[in-house]
Amino acid sequence: MTWKVEIDPQQCIASGSCPAIAPNLFVVDGAHARPLKDVIEEDERALDAADVCPAMAITVRDGEQVVGPRP
């Protein structure tokens, strides 16, 4: 299974928390973070990054279902 990872540039504050948790999935690129790939294999670290994002800018989807951030 694969997940789609998105970062909303309008919400992202480039805190660096996502690449700190998953440096192989995210990078801070200028004023915003971005995923290194839009589609990834299921990876718990992507969910962890979405959970701790202070701006709640990361969304992880499995098809149409949002799986991260977790409630």
pLDDT tens-digit map of 43-68: 999 999 999 999 999 999 999 999 99
The answer to whether 58 and 6 have CB atoms below 8 angstroms apart is: yes
Helix (H, G, I), strand (E, B) or coil at 36: coil
Say how far apart CA 37 and CA 22 lie, in whole Å: 12
pLDDT given for residue 23 in this prediction: 98
Strand 2-7 to strand 58-62: parallel, antiparallel, or no bridges (unpaired)? Answer: antiparallel
Q: Which two tokens stand for residue 54?
A: 């202070």
What is this structure's pTM?
Answer: 0.95
User: Nearest to residue 27, comparing CAs of 42, 43, 12?
Assistant: 12
